Structure 1
Amino acid sequence: MTQSAAVPSQANVSTTDLVTVSRAVADLRRGEIVLVQGQANGIAHCVAVIAAEPLSDHGLARLHDIAGKSGNTAIVLPRVRAKSLGQACKNDHFIAFVSAKKSGVDAQAFAEIANPLLDLEGMPAGAWRPVSMAESAAIRLAKLARLLPAVVTAPVEPEQLEMLSKAQNLLVLQSESINGYEDASAATLRQVSEARVPLENAENATVIAFRPEDGGQEHLAIVIDEPAHDQPVLIRLHSECFTGDLIGSLRCDCGPQLRGAIAEIAKSGKGGIILYLRQEGRGIGLVNKLRAYALQDRGFDTLDANEELGFDADERVYRPAAEMLRQMGFETVRLLTNNPEKLTGLESWGVTVVERVPHKFPSNGHNEFYLQTKKDRAGHLF
């Protein structure tokens, strides 16, 4: 099944850096501290970072120790959260709220400040300031960990970085490695298993699993029949959706789209591929998608809910799909989609899309507003 084609250029991130970022993601999810270094105008800026969501009093105490005599720690928040807390923030996507140790802000208070589902009556004593490049990269790391995009930081002098790393066994990351992680990881995808899996509407189907070198999540290619390599192959990019694909949620159209794509490809008689991408909730993860659902129940639409949490409306990337197609020997496709972003996303990584094949399904009484939002605000072509 595997063939080779021209390899697109990849991000300038080494395999060692990939593994370091992957380890840091796991540390962040456990409430551990990591060290992030960034540079702006030739000046290095370093911070010790803990994710706000799993923050404990023990972790915060360690962070205060790193902060030294000043005792100053800062929580980096999305603009929309800062606004809801009474801070005007016109241009920056994120803003930092600085609180001294003597102010008595504990871990629970920081976690509540970070949580956009909570309405707070007031803020503790502190001051607001812009976010550094290192802190911006730390937010990116929190997103990779599928945590709320809010982190608590303490400043670290560049000359203290190595000593602190060794003394407390903390990972040190460069902002460039964090920001380039997703593209670089996708470039290292390799096929790790393949098996015949007869499906309800496509008995001649094979599932191929691809894993990146850093040990990240596997993406899957569902190959139906035996598509030819000398003509455009019919494909669908399908982002993982536990609620729609597995338990039949009526809030979205993902389940019908997945099963409909399988049936349509099988019916075509020419075969095709479904690329099942591990990008739940437009790339924000299942837990955050459930938080977005809670916000939708308060009146937000599907895009605003993601942004209220501090994410972009759509955080998905399409290099993994392009890399999987390249390794299977397909460069030209017909794409089953209503989303024009998928066309441009694939084409930006060297895949030629010769046709967009419409792929729409009727609403079910629960998802009319969701589908209308995709059409009116995201430009989906229904």
Structure 2
Amino acid sequence: MSLAPALPELIARARADMRMGVPVVLRSSDHISLAAAAEGLSPERLAALKALGTTYMAITSRRAQTLSARAYDGDVARIILPDDADVEWIAAVAAPEHDLAAPMKGPFKTLRSDSATHARTAIALAKTARLLPAAIMVDLPVDTKEDLSALTSLPAELALPHMATLAPLADVVSARVPLTVSDAGRVHVFRPDDGAEEHFAVEIGRPDRNAPVLARLHSACFTGDIMGSLKCDCGPQLRAALAQMGEEGAGVLLYLNQEGRGIGHANKMRAYTLQDQGFDTVEANHRLGFEDDERDLRIGAAILKKMGFSSVRLLTNNPAKIARMEDQGIKVTERVPLKVGQTPENAGYLATKAKKSGHLL
């Protein structure tokens, strides 16, 4: 039996390395690439990468559109770093918080030849590491004399599609947790095998597995759920969903660790900074380089199946959640509206939800 890490474990290593500013090696049959997250890259490592050859920044087409950079590869753009580019230049291009304070960037020269698979892989790693979706990269021949043995190495053609698949979830443990809404509460912990965040299911009472269960897919929101932020309606929705389950005597709330619609705490705060500059939620995500919603709702369906549920009465205002549950084999017999938490402070946020994301408010 081999003790060497399998592909999911190598991806988890690479993700952790990128969070710490350590480059990773991406391999293909015709070349290799070194890729380091643009966020947190040290001057020393930047200098070492630039010494190896033509260095470029891989960004998403969303960020490229903001920067007026050509995305010849469709979904990604590869901006060649100027000779004098330093970490401050990289931060200005990759991070959008100060776009309005320093609007003059470029013009940019972008790559349009060779495969962009390595760039896509690097961006996917950065996203799953909850970093800005931008990577500093340099391409090398497969027979390079550079000693890269100390770096985590991934086969790019295998790693990229693997990251798009849903990681298997293990039902690690469950325990009784008396709650304010019900003393018959039980919390289940689900752990993905790819090293990503754990997710939780809060079970109220003893829901019948043979009948549609009152269910809520709730994405973690530190600011709303815990701090009582008025910028969103997450906290009131969480509490209202649990209260309704308590009143009915049964239900299951899935608490999914996908902060900020899947972009992570730091990027969510960057989005808030952009919202203070006049951009709405969707526009802020796009300027960051993300899509409107980066969450993986397949996780919710997988957890429901693990718990023995095949149909739900779904507490949601979001038709996309209904569609994804149905796609994944969970029958939605009823949409139960959840209209709470509207305040003057989140009026624009809710209007954007309705107009651009199709929420039924």
TM-score (norm 2): 0.91
Distance 1:318 1:159 in 2: 42
Q: How far 1:237 moved relative to its partner?
A: 0.2
Name which of 14, 23, 29 aligns with 1:33: 23
Q: What are the equivalent positions in structure 2 for 1:362-373 lying under 5 Å apart?
A: 362-373=341-352
| Cα-to-partner distance string for 1:337-370 (whole Å, 9 max, x where unaligned) | 0101111112222211111111111511111111
Change (3 A) 1:262 1:58: same
Distance 1:84 1:326 in 2: 41
Residue 113 of structure 1: aligned partner = 93
Q: Name the aligned partner's letter for residue 317 of structure 2.
A: N
Is the contact between residue 117 and residue 156 of structure 2 (CA under 8 Å) also seen in structure 1?
Answer: no
Change (3 A) 1:323 1:124: closer
Name which of 57, 61, 64 aligns with 2:47: 61
Change (3 A) 1:79 1:212: closer
Is the contact between residue 27 and residue 33 of structure 2 (CA under 8 Å) also seen in structure 1?
Answer: yes
| Cα-to-partner distance string for 1:227-269 (whole Å, 9 max, x where unaligned) | 0111111100000000000000010000000000000011113
Residue 87 of structure 1: aligned partner = 69
Residue 275 of structure 1: aligned partner = 254
Computed over aligned residues only, the root mean square deviation of the Cα atoms, in angstroms, reads: 2.3
Count of residue pairs brought into register by the alignment? 354
Residue 181 of structure 1: aligned partner = 163
Q: How far 1:105 moved relative to its partner?
A: 1.6
* Deviates further, 195-204 or 246-255: 195-204
Change (3 A) 1:96 1:195: same
Unpaired runs of 5+ in structure 1? 1-14
1:324 paired with 2:303, answer yes
Is the contact between residue 56 and residue 78 of structure 2 (CA under 8 Å) also seen in structure 1?
Answer: yes
Distance 2:63 2:195 in 1: 33
Residue 171 of structure 1: aligned partner = 153
Q: Name the aligned partner's letter for residue 27 of structure 2.
A: Q
Distance 1:92 1:192 in 2: 40
Is the contact between residue 45 and residue 133 of structure 1 (CA under 8 Å) also seen in structure 2?
Answer: no
Residue 238 of structure 2: aligned partner = 258
Q: How far 1:159 moved relative to its partner?
A: 3.7
Name which of 7, 15, 20 aligns with 2:10: 20
Residue 207 of structure 1: aligned partner = 187
Q: How far 1:305 moved relative to its partner?
A: 0.8
Distance 1:213 1:84 in 2: 36
Distance 1:353 1:129 in 2: 46
Distance 2:159 2:235 in 1: 35
Distance 1:61 1:91 in 2: 27
User: Counterpart of 1:194 in 2: which secondary structure?
Assistant: strand
Name which of 136, 147, 159 aligns with 1:152: 136
1:360 paired with 2:339, answer yes
Q: What are the equivalent positions in structure 2 for 1:190-339 lying under 5 Å apart?
A: 190-269=170-249, 271-339=250-318
Q: How far 1:171 moved relative to its partner?
A: 2.4
Residue 128 of structure 1: aligned partner = 110
Q: Name the aligned partner's letter for residue 275 of structure 1.
A: L
Q: How far 1:124 moved relative to its partner?
A: 6.9
Distance 1:222 1:320 in 2: 15
Distance 1:263 1:94 in 2: 44
User: Counterpart of 1:356 in 2: which secondary structure?
Assistant: strand
Change (3 A) 1:295 1:334: same
Unpaired runs of 5+ in structure 2? none
* Deviates further, 309-318 or 113-122: 113-122
Distance 2:322 2:294 in 1: 16
Is the contact between residue 191 and residue 210 of structure 1 (CA under 8 Å) also seen in structure 2?
Answer: yes
**Identical pairs, percent:** 41
* Deviates further, 223-232 or 343-352: 343-352
| Cα-to-partner distance string for 1:141-167 (whole Å, 9 max, x where unaligned) | 110011111111000223449x7442x
User: Counterpart of 2:110 in 1: which secondary structure?
Assistant: strand
TM-score (norm 1): 0.86
Distance 1:254 1:190 in 2: 27
| Cα-to-partner distance string for 1:110-151 (whole Å, 9 max, x where unaligned) | 222211122336557862224711101211111001111111
Q: Moved runs in structure 1, 4+ residues, more than 4 A?
A: 88-91, 121-126
| Cα-to-partner distance string for 1:21-45 (whole Å, 9 max, x where unaligned) | 111110000000101235xxxx745
Distance 1:315 1:258 in 2: 20
Change (3 A) 1:44 1:265: farther
Is the contact between residue 237 and residue 341 of structure 2 (CA under 8 Å) also seen in structure 1?
Answer: no
Is the contact between residue 62 and residue 290 of structure 2 (CA under 8 Å) also seen in structure 1?
Answer: no
